[in-house]
Amino acid sequence: MPQGIDHAFAKRLSGVPDRCRHHRIHLHPPRTILDVAAQSLRADRLQINGMVYLNQRVVAVGERDSFYQDVDIGTHNIRVNNPVLAEGDGPLYQVREWYQPFFTDEASVAASMAQNRAFTPVDNR
């Protein structure tokens, strides 16, 4: 494995010979954790006794990208005034009444408030 951890290193790390079956050592080759249009991140993963060890930076980047995916989903949400409900969906009517104050008429919103704003995070590595 060019970028991964080789088996000899894993044996030295764990101190367990190959023939011991009660200790499981799984080595995985480098794999793509995130596929983003602009970048592709590769990471090595070592799994010993069911515990997966990843570089903390890889996890942080994954959390950051997951957050931005949620933001993207949130910017494209639309309201459905009268969704089709099945018979017996009584509590959904209560939820609809509850979330009514969170939505406003588009005509009553000022133009300066309606424009989209983009915020660029500062990456201090």
Closest CA to 65 of 123, 116, 117, 115: 123
Q: Give the percent of the chain with pLDDT over 70.
A: 45
Domain ranges of the chain: 1-78
Per-residue confidence band for 26, with pLDDT thresholds at 50, 70 and 90: very low
pLDDT of residue 21: 45
pLDDT of residue 75: 80
Q: What is the 8-class DSSP label of residue 90?
A: H
From 14-28, 44-58, 80-94, the region with the lowest mean pLDDT? 14-28
Per-residue confidence band for 45, with pLDDT thresholds at 50, 70 and 90: low
pLDDT of residue 69: 84
Per-residue confidence band for 25, with pLDDT thresholds at 50, 70 and 90: very low
Per-residue confidence band for 116, with pLDDT thresholds at 50, 70 and 90: confident
Q: What is the 8-class DSSP label of residue 61?
A: H
Q: Per the structure block, which two tokens stand in for 105?
A: 């008429």
